[in-house]
Structure 1
Amino acid sequence: MAWRRTRDAARRARRPARHGRHGREGRSPVVRPPLPPLDTRADRFDLAVGTTAEFLRSAWEELRDVSFEIADMPPATDDDGIPRWHVLSAEKRIILYRLPIERLSHLHRNDDAHRRMMIEGSVFRAAAEYLDRDPWDLGPERFRYF
C-alpha cells in the first residue's frame, strides 16, 4: 500500500501548477486588462457632436434650449442630394445624420483629427443655419490661431 501512495504522489508532482479538468494548462483570458476599451465610429461621432454642442450652448444663449440629436440616415433625399443635417427651428431641434457626414465628406487627410474637425464643422454649420448666421461667426475665438 505504501508503494501505491508514493507513486500517486509522484504522478501528482509531475502535473503543471495550472491545469484544467483534463490535465491541460489553463488558458488566458481573451482580452487582457492593459488593452484600451473598444470604441466605435458611432461613439466617437457622439462624443464629437456632444462636445461641440456644449461649446456652442455655452457661447450662444439662443442655443441653450436647442436639442442636438443624431440619426443614422435621413428619411429621404431633397433637391440638393442627401442632407447632412436637418434644422427644425419651431421645435428647437437640430438633427445630424451620421452616415452622410462620415461617408460623403471628402477629407484631404483621413485621420482622427481631420474626421473630428469635419464633424465639428458640420455641427457649426447646422447651428449657424439654425441661428441664420455665418458659421465663422459662432466661434471666432476658437479659430483665432489657425
Structure 2
Amino acid sequence: MESSAPQSSPGPARRPRHRDRHGRGLRGPLAPPQVPISLTRSELFDDYVRESVERLERRWPQLIDVEFAVQEVPQPGQGEADPEGGVPLGRLQPAKQGRKSRIVVYRRPVEIRAKSREDRAALVHEILIEQVADLLGMSPDAIDPRYDEE
C-alpha cells in the first residue's frame, strides 16, 4: 500500500539561522529617547547652545531679535581669523538690511578643544557670552558676571 503522506527528509528540519536564537525578539534601544546617552553629538551640542541662549535671553531680552546657529566648521574664504591665528570658535554677523544679527558657533573646533561634556557646555557658553558682548558693545563680565570663572 502506498502512503499519500509527504516524504520527510531524514534528521531535524533545518530553519534559517537568525540573530534572534532564543526567540526573544530584537533588542531594544539601550536607553530611552529622552536620556542624553541616546542623543547624537550634534544634538547634544545643539542642546548646549540652546540652554546657553535661553540663559542669556532671560538676562538680556533684546537677544530675542538675534538669530543663533550652529555650523560644523568655518567656511573657507569668509575672512574669519582668530586673533591668535587659530580656527575661530564662533562668529558674529551684524544685522544688515532686512536681516537679523546672527551668532554662529562652530561645533567641530569646540569639540576638539573641550573633551568632556561639562567643558564643552562651559566653552559654548563662554563663546556665546563673548559674541553677545561684541554685539551689544559691552564687556563679557557685564553680560554674565560668572564669565571667566573656573
* TM-score, normalised by the number of residues in structure 1: 0.67
Question: For 1:114 and 1:99, how far apart are their aligned partners in 2?
Answer: 14
Q: Which residue of 1 aligns with 2:3?
A: none
Task: Tell me how far 1:79 sits from its aligned partner.
Answer: 4.1
Counterpart contact for 2:81–2:88, Cα < 8 Å: no
Of the candidates 25, 28, 31, which is equivalent to residue 35 of structure 1?
Answer: 31
**2:107 counterpart residue number:** 98
Q: Kindly, what percent of the aligned residue pairs are identical? A: 30
Whether 1:111 and 2:107 are equivalent positions in the alignment is: no
Amino acid at match of 2:51: T
Total equivalences in the alignment: 119
Equivalent residue for 1:50? 50
The residue number in structure 2 matching 1:26 is 23
In 2, are the aligned partners of 1:58 and 1:64 still within 8 Å (CA)?
Answer: no
Provide closer, same or farther for how the CA distance between residues 111 and 75 of structure 1 changes in structure 2, counting only shifts above 3 A.
Answer: closer
Question: What CA distance in whole angstroms lies between the structure 2 residues aligned with 1:112 and 1:61?
Answer: 27
By how many angstroms is 1:88 displaced?
Answer: 1.1
Higher-helix-fraction structure:
1
Deviation at 1:61, TM superposition (A): 2.9
Counterpart-to-counterpart distance in 2, 1:27 and 1:61: 54
CA RMSD of aligned residues (A): 2.7
Q: Does 1:128 align with 2:133?
A: yes
Amino acid at match of 1:31: G
SS at match of 1:64: helix
- TM-score, normalised via structure 2 length: 0.66
Query: Unmatched 5+ residue regions in structure 2?
Result: 1-14
Distance apart, 1:63 and its partner CA: 1.2
Contact 2:89 2:106 in 1 (8 A): yes
